């Protein structure tokens, strides 16, 4: 499709959606309708009218009817007064018009058919011909401009593709995603819960869910071991001054939880990130070039004041636990340290059979006010990261404007079992915090110099990655990660003592095992184990008590596994090891 990107197509479809809604409900106030990663949305104020997902088919039908008269998008430059007259009864558009006019932006309107909208542009050519493969997906509430102090609007989501087969494949993936919803599976398997008394976005992990967390933490620790990391510990709160000094306060003040005290005038916050704390540990003693690199690691929770409407199970929470790490090194050590982190990340995601896409996230040279440090410093930092990626030999894309405010990043995007992508691990270069905190080391020439700070996370947020894994595996975790690894099923009451002895020996060998000695039939016990997605189920009857081989029903495998009685623990331990 010439001269039209997928984003332009989707933005055009948002216009079409707005046109259909206004045609069906003329008193509706429209707001904004951008293209997003997998489609588009448009936010509306329907007044007293309640719109539900049952209305989507009606809206979509009207979209298709209106599309017949949409030959193109006619662009017009309009004055502020004309724009205000055009939207005189729409306070949302008037707010945007006032903002745009104060910034001396040229106001433009685009018309298709009989529908006109205030818009900056970016549309497809010949919409009647190319804008065919779309589908409205869902309805949600959304605060105007994402601020919960504003009115709740109705957001209609949709998607659109260039080819019909692409739309069909995407809709099939969405259906599969519903089956894999980690919120439903997690509740069914008893992995985590939420409590209104605790608060939204603050997950509580059960003993079974905590096993998964601990195994993920242990796996990262296992992979880090050859690289000389030292564990540290920091508190969950800090003075505001720390984040003002680091530069985070100016960027994230609205996303930080404040902590008050009746006994002091000091102002504290729940920590939104760990790097300034780790910088203080580095600064607590004099460092020599012989000491570097200094590598700190920690598994700790940070807190972000997310809007309640944006919270979603484990994948968007207010308390997120990071397998965080910070390296303080000399400039000539950067390359090797990044290569080491890359190796850890590669091994970690290979274990889950997740392919990784790499993005070099850089600054936007046309919007340097968003970043700390000079443009030359940023150029040097990006060039350093680019050279390292070239040395690794992996293909990568460049994300302009996607950098952290203190430095460029190498971001890793994992693909799950059904093709969805999740931004997960990251490696971030930081020349700014060492400068702000005046971090130093004594070089071989006796001069005081600034170290470079490298931020790294492997799984990212453990909560979010657990949610991703639940959906990736549909709750069928590999043996080493499963909360319960073996279910022992007794045939009758006279087999209980022997089964208990087997369990004791397995527990002593650090195998997670449970017994089902209920009065239910063996078949039902096996089905219950399957419902709980337990990797191995072993039925114990007369044969097993007499010393016969164990028959292992392996979840998802048609053929049973035969293990000699004396080999059970050894075989279980083999499968229980970390995969790398």
What lies within 8 Å, CB to CB, of 184 at 6+ separation is: none
160 among known catalytic residues: no
Residue 129 inside a domain? The answer is yes
Rounded alpha-carbon distances, angstroms, from residue 30 to 116, 157, 276, 354: 11, 14, 43, 41
Whether the per-residue pLDDT at 146 is higher than 90: the answer is no
Q: Give percent above pLDDT 70 in the chain.
A: 99
Q: Are 283 and 439 spatial neighbours (Cβ–Cβ below 8 Å)?
A: yes
Same domain as 117, residue 26? yes
The active-site residue, picked from 30, 213, 248, 409, is 409
State how beta strands 355-362 and 397-400 pair.
parallel
What are the CA-CA distances from residue 38 to residues 6, 125, 245 (Å)? 10, 20, 38
Nearest to 63 by CA among 5, 132, 142: 132
Evaluate if residue 358 carries a pLDDT over 50. Answer: yes
Share of the chain above pLDDT 90, in %: 78
262 part of a folded domain: yes
Residue 461 has pLDDT above 50, yes or no: yes
Could you say which of 450, 473, 496 is where a domain stops? 473
In a domain, 188, yes or no: no
**Has 472 been annotated as catalytic?**
no
123 is annotated as an active-site residue: no
Active site residue 326: yes
Per-residue pLDDT at 3: 34
312 DSSP 8-state letter: B
pLDDT band per the 50, 70, 90 thresholds, residue 2: very low
| Average pLDDT over every residue of 554-574 | 94
The rounded mean pLDDT for the chain is: 93
- Residues 221 and 155 grouped into a single domain: no
State the catalytic residue, choosing from 278, 326, 525, 533: 326
Lowest mean pLDDT among 122-136, 166-180, 360-374: 360-374
Q: How far is the CA of 375 from the CAs of 249, 364, 367, 479, in angstroms? A: 21, 10, 10, 50
Sorting pLDDT into bands at 50, 70 and 90, what band is 180?
very high
Q: Give Dmax over CA atoms of the chain in angstroms.
A: 92
**Rounded mean pLDDT of 474-486?**
97
Band (305; pLDDT cuts 50, 70, 90)? very high
Residue 324 catalytic? yes
Sheet with 513-516, strands from edge to edge, namely 513-516, 486-490, 536-540, 550-554, 561-563
* Cis peptide leading into residue 154 (ω within 30°): no
Query: What is the structure's pLDDT at 100?
Result: 81
Residue 284 corresponds to which tokens in the numbers above?
A: 């607590």
**Rounded to whole angstroms, how far apart are CA atoms 287 and 458?**
27
Q: Which candidate in 45, 55, 117, 324 is catalytic?
A: 324
Q: Is 456 found in the same domain as 412?
A: yes
Q: Does residue 109 register a pLDDT over 60?
A: yes
Are residues 34 and 75 both part of a single domain? yes
For residue 499, which of 485, 510, 488, 508 has the smallest C-alpha distance?
A: 488
Query: Comparing C-alpha atoms, which of 482, 478, 470, 477 is closest to residue 420?
Result: 470
Instruction: List the domain range (segments joined by +) for residue 101.
Output: 6-179
Whether the per-residue pLDDT at 4 is higher than 70: the answer is: no
Query: Cα separation of 545 and 493, whole Å?
Result: 12
pLDDT for residue 234: 97
Q: Locate tokens 């430095």: which residue?
A: 407
Measured between alpha carbons, how far is 145 from 96 in angstroms, rounded to an integer? 10
How many CB atoms sit inside 10 A of residue 144's CB? 18
Q: How far apart are CA 563 and CA 211, in angstroms?
A: 26
> Contact at 8 Å (CB) between 557 and 533?
no
- In-domain check, residue 480: no
- Per-residue pLDDT of 260-288, as tens digits, reads 888 888 899 999 999 999 999 999 999 99
Residue 543 bears catalytic tag: no
pLDDT of residue 162: 92
* Entry pTM: 0.86
Reduced to 3 states (helix: H, G, I; strand: E, B; else coil), residue 576 is helix
CA atoms within 13 A on the CB side of 462: 26
Annotated catalytic residue, options 13, 119, 160, 275: 275
Tell me whether residue 135 is one of the annotated catalytic residues: no
Dihedral, 443, 446, 447, 450 alpha carbons, nearest 10: 20
Mean pLDDT of 332-354: 95
Residues 103 and 233 in one domain: no
Catalytic residue among 15, 295, 322, 516: 322
Catalytic residue among 132, 304, 357, 496: 304
Residues 145 and 175 in one domain: yes
Look at residue 103 in the predicted model and tell me its pLDDT. 63
Q: In CATH, what number is assigned to the domain containing residue 53?
A: 3.30.980.10
* Residue 522 belongs to domain with CATH number: 3.40.50.800
- Three-state secondary structure call for residue 378: helix
* Residue 1 pLDDT greater than 70, yes or no: no
Q: Which secondary-structure segment (H or E) carries 57?
A: helix 56-67
């Amino acid at each position: 499709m010439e001269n039209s990107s997928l984003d332009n197509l989707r933005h055009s479809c948002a216009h079409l959606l707005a046109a259909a809604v206004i045609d069906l409900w003329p008193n509706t106030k429209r707001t904004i309708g951008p293209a997003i990663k997998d489609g588009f949305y448009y936010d509306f104020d329907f007044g007293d009218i309640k719109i539900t997902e049952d209305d989507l088919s009606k809206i979509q039908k009207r979209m298709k009817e209106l599309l017949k008269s949409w030959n193109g998008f006619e662009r017009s430059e309009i004055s502020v007064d004309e724009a205000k007259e055009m939207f005189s009864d729409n306070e949302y558009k008037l707010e945007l018009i006032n903002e745009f006019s104060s910034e001396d932006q040229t106001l433009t309107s685009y018309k298709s058919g009989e529908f006109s909208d205030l818009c900056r542009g970016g549309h497809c050519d010949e919409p009647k011909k190319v804008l065919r493969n779309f589908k409205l997906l869902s309805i949600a509430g959304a605060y105007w401009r994402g601020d919960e102090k504003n009115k709740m609007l109705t957001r209609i989501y949709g998607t659109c593709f260039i080819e019909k087969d692409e739309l069909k494949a995407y809709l099939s993936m969405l259906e599969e995603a519903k089956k894999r919803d980690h919120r439903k599976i997690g509740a069914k398997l008893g992995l985590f819960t939420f409590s209104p008394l605790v608060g939204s976005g603050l997950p509580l992990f059960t003993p079974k869910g905590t096993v998964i967390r601990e195994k993920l933490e242990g796996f990262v620790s296992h992979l880090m071991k050859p690289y000389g990391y030292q564990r540290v510990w920091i508190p969950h709160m800090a003075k505001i001054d720390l984040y003002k000094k680091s530069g985070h306060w100016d960027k994230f003040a609205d996303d930080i939880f404040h902590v008050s005290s009746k006994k002091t005038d000091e102002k504290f916050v729940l920590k939104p990130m760990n790097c300034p704390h780790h910088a203080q540990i580095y600064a607590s003693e004099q460092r020599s070039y012989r000491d570097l690199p200094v590598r700190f690691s920690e598994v700790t929770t940070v807190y972000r004041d997310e809007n309640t409407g944006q919270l979603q199970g484990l994948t968007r929470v207010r308390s997120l636990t990071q397998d965080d790490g910070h390296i303080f090194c000399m400039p000539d050590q950067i390359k090797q340290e990044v290569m080491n982190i890359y190796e850890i990340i590669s091994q970690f995601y290979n274990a889950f059979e997740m392919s990784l896409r790499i993005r070099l996230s850089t600054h936007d040279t046309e919007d340097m006010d968003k970043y700390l440090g000079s443009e030359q410093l940023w150029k040097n930092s990006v060039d350093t990261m680019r050279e390292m990626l070239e040395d690794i030999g992996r293909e990568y894309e460049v994300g302009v404007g996607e950098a952290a405010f203190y430095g460029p990043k190498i971001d890793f995007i994992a693909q799950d079992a059904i093709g969805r992508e999740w931004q997960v691990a990251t490696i971030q270069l930081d020349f700014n915090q060492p400068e702000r905190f005046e971090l130093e080391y004594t070089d071989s020439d006796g001069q005081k110099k600034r170290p470079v700070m490298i931020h790294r996370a492997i799984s990212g947020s453990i909560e979010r990655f657990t949610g991703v894994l639940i959906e990736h595996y549909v709750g069928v975790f590999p043996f080493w990660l499963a909360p319960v690894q073996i279910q022992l099923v007794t045939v009758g009451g006279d087999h209980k003592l022997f089964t208990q002895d087997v369990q004791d020996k397995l527990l002593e060998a650090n195998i997670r095992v449970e017994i089902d000695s209920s009065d239910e039939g063996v078949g039902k016990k096996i089905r219950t184990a399957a419902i709980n997605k337990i990797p191995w189920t072993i039925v114990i009857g007369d044969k097993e008590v007499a010393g016969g081989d164990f028959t292992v029903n392996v979840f998802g495998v048609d053929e049973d596994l035969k293990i000699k009685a004396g080999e059970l623990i050894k075989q279980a331990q083999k499968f229980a090891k970390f995969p790398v």
